[in-house]
Structure 1
């Protein structure tokens, strides 16, 4: 399963996404944005997903990174 970090424009966007994930049985957790990455709101969602992330994109999401050990690969940017 692929692991991702989604960064949001606002805290409320992160909370909405987390609720969406939980409702759709997608493993996710809210956490501070890693220092290597930047954000307007400082909170991100770390989640696991196997399908195309295109189905998860919303206006609330600023960026999505795929996690590879300690490296982050940008997969989506608003």
Structure 2
């Protein structure tokens, strides 16, 4: 099982992600974003799974990182222009 960190443009997005994760039985918790990762709202979701795609990418989702032995790998990033539509 892999560990992932999702960052969000708003705290509302982080809370909605947590609710959907729990509803879909995905282990998830909210926490402050690690200092060296960028985030607009300062809240991130730590979640675990075989893959990063939870099936509910939302407009407030900013970046998903895979936690590796050497740090963090960006595996999904929202296109900012698509967020504005």
Q: TM-score, normalised by structure 1?
A: 0.92
Counterpart of 1:47 in structure 2 is: 47
Give runs of ≥4 in structure 1 deviating > 4 Å: none
Q: CA RMSD in A?
A: 1.4
Aligned pairs, number: 78
Q: TM-score, normalised by structure 2?
A: 0.85
1 CA distance for matches of 2:51 and 2:26? 11
1:7 equivalent in alignment to 2:13: no
Q: Compute the displacement of 1:65 (Å).
A: 0.2
What runs of 5+ residues in structure 1 fail to find an aligned partner? none
Q: Compute the displacement of 1:35 (Å).
A: 0.9
Contact in 1 for aligned 2:13/2:61 (Cα 8 Å): yes
Partner SS, residue 67 of structure 1: strand
Partner SS, residue 53 of structure 1: coil
2 CA distance for matches of 1:64 and 1:19? 17
Partner SS, residue 45 of structure 1: strand
Q: Which has the larger radius of gyration?
A: 2
Contact in 1 for aligned 2:10/2:60 (Cα 8 Å): yes
- Assess, with a 3 A threshold, how the Cα gap between structure 1 residues 55 and 15 changes in structure 2: closer, same or farther: same
Q: Compute the displacement of 1:51 (Å).
A: 3.5
What runs of 5+ residues in structure 2 fail to find an aligned partner? 79-85
